[in-house]
Amino acid sequence: MKILPVVGKELEQLFITMAPALYRDDPHYIRPFDSDVHHVFDPLINPRYENGHCARWLLHDDAGRTIGRIAAFYSLDTFERDELPVGGCGFFECIDDQRAADILFDTAKEWLSKAGIQAMDGPINFGNRERWWGLLVDGFHPPCYCCNYNPPYYQQLFEHYGFEVFFKQFTYRREIATKLSSRIGEKAIHAMKDTGYTFAPIDRRRLDKAAADFCTVYNEAWAKHEGVSPMSLEDASKLMQSMKPIIDPNIIWFAYHHEQPVAFWVNIPDVNQLIVKYMNGRLTLSGKIRFIWNRWTKRCKTMFGIVFGVVPAHQRKGVEAALVVTATKVLQDPSRSHYEEVQMNWIGDFNPKMMNVARHIGGSVYKTHHTYRYLFDRTQPFERHPIL
């Protein structure tokens, strides 16, 4: 076997195209847009390169066939922020061969170690957590947009190497028609009695305001958690602009207290259903036409929950319940909404409050991903992610 660093356009493209061959016989696999993966590794597009480093490799067998790939990366912030400097590995693909997997993991580990990193998490993204994060270990259903999907045997490859579960991520599924529990209703009433609270869908004509409100809530609710970087207003604006073609005002909601943003529930139509699964990695003119047609005919039945957050000062006041109740009234109105289910992505087992919210609104675990950690010093005691 031979490991090759990804240098040059030919190997960069091979890094993308080798993955679909592994899933040739898997009916649930959906090839992501090539551009969505390329952008992760483009220093001109991915802001993580401003304060971080990344490398990629391909693995060939003795006959010259590509049988695996991996990326490794780290942020310079880890040396100042974390007691244990942690990097990451991701975009892992491999045949069912432990020796091949070990070569890929060893290569990533050695590169990170030379930079002073002492542990690696994986498989994760060189970017935000809502994309390409975690190893699928249960619920091998078709993936939602920019979510990791992999064969079941990957779990053995990671765990046999020595990776341990740092935390679990759950995707909860709820049918839109499901009646909300009385407990959620009671909590919502508590918040709604405070006339200072208001709840409103996103206004597509004012994405600048939506970006500012999102940035405020995100940095208060999420950015102080381990492994989550603060978001600048510029990044929030770019996010809103990138979402503009698929924004549905009925499924993105904000909560305000005396006009100050205090919570959000951000969903998008599952783009994989709308278009990605038909395109074989590339958005063509016919694909754009199909996208418009599918949106116009309301073909997408799944709304995909990206992030839910409440600023700490307004937690335990029923705000999250009131936000869900308000949105659900719209979602259950057939004249305004055509969705049949919501998949609430990325709820960590370290966040029991959000797990309770997902359960109380009628959700049940649909998929489970593991985020693993591998300590380079094998004598060091392993600790899981702390409970929030």
Say what angle helices 319-331 and 182-192 make with each other, to 10 degrees: 110
Residue 172 CA to chain centroid, in angstroms? 14
Residue 56 lies in a domain: yes
Same structural domain, 58 and 186: no
Same structural domain, 204 and 250: yes
Same structural domain, 159 and 253: no
* Structure tokens, 338: 């055509």
Residue 225 lies in a domain: yes
Residue 49 lies in a domain: yes
Same structural domain, 152 and 216: no
* Structure tokens, 71: 């990326």
Residue 373 lies in a domain: no
- So what's the pLDDT on residue 289? 46
Residue 352 lies in a domain: no
The answer to whether residues 136 and 309 touch, using CB atoms and an 8 Å cutoff, is no
Of 168, 197, 220, the position where a domain reaches its end is 168
Return the closest-CA partner of residue 214 out of 184, 187, 245, 247: 247
Same structural domain, 241 and 157: no
Counting the structural domains of the chain, the total is 2
Same structural domain, 86 and 41: yes
Residue 381 lies in a domain: no
Same structural domain, 88 and 211: no
Beta-carbon contacts of 90 under 8 Å, excluding residues fewer than 6 positions away, are 70, 71, 73, 122, 123, 124, 125, 126, 132
Q: Is 179 exposed, middle or buried (0-12, 13-18, 19+ CB in 10 A)?
A: exposed
Beta-carbon contacts of 380 under 8 Å, excluding residues fewer than 6 positions away, are none
Same structural domain, 200 and 71: no
Residue 109 CA to chain centroid, in angstroms? 23
- So what's the pLDDT on residue 190? 84
Domain boundaries, position 135: 2-168
* Structure tokens, 114: 């030379």
Helix, strand or coil, per DSSP, at residue 175: strand
The answer to whether residues 326 and 336 touch, using CB atoms and an 8 Å cutoff, is no
Which residues of the chain have a pLDDT value below 50? 285, 289, 293, 296-297
Same structural domain, 158 and 59: yes
- For residues 113, 116, 121, 126, the Cα torsion angle rounded to the nearest 10 degrees is -100
Domain of 219, CATH number, reads 3.40.630.30
Distances (CA, A) of 108 to 49, 71, 118, 248, 376: 18, 7, 12, 40, 11
Query: What residue has token string 């937690």?
Result: 315
The answer to whether residues 252 and 202 touch, using CB atoms and an 8 Å cutoff, is yes
Residue 90, beta-bridge partner list: 71
Residue 364 lies in a domain: no
- So what's the pLDDT on residue 295? 54
Angle at 351 between CA 356 and CA 180, to 5 degrees: 20
Distances (CA, A) of 345 to 13, 168, 303, 306: 29, 12, 10, 6
- So what's the pLDDT on residue 193? 86
86-94/119-122 β-pairing: parallel
* Structure tokens, 363: 């959700």
- So what's the pLDDT on residue 283? 59
Same structural domain, 103 and 52: yes
Distances (CA, A) of 271 to 53, 61, 268, 381: 30, 35, 8, 41
* Structure tokens, 254: 């904000």
- So what's the pLDDT on residue 227? 65
Distances (CA, A) of 144 to 110, 132, 156, 264, 340: 33, 11, 24, 20, 15
Same structural domain, 136 and 272: no
Residue 370 lies in a domain: no
Of 124, 146, 168, the position where a domain reaches its end is 168
Helices and strands, number each (H, E), in the chain: 12, 13
- So what's the pLDDT on residue 293? 46
* Structure tokens, 371: 């985020």
Of 168, 195, 221, the position where a domain reaches its end is 168
- So what's the pLDDT on residue 286? 52
The answer to whether residues 266 and 250 touch, using CB atoms and an 8 Å cutoff, is no
The answer to whether residues 262 and 233 touch, using CB atoms and an 8 Å cutoff, is no
Same structural domain, 149 and 42: yes
How many other C-beta atoms lie within 10 A of the C-beta of residue 42? 12
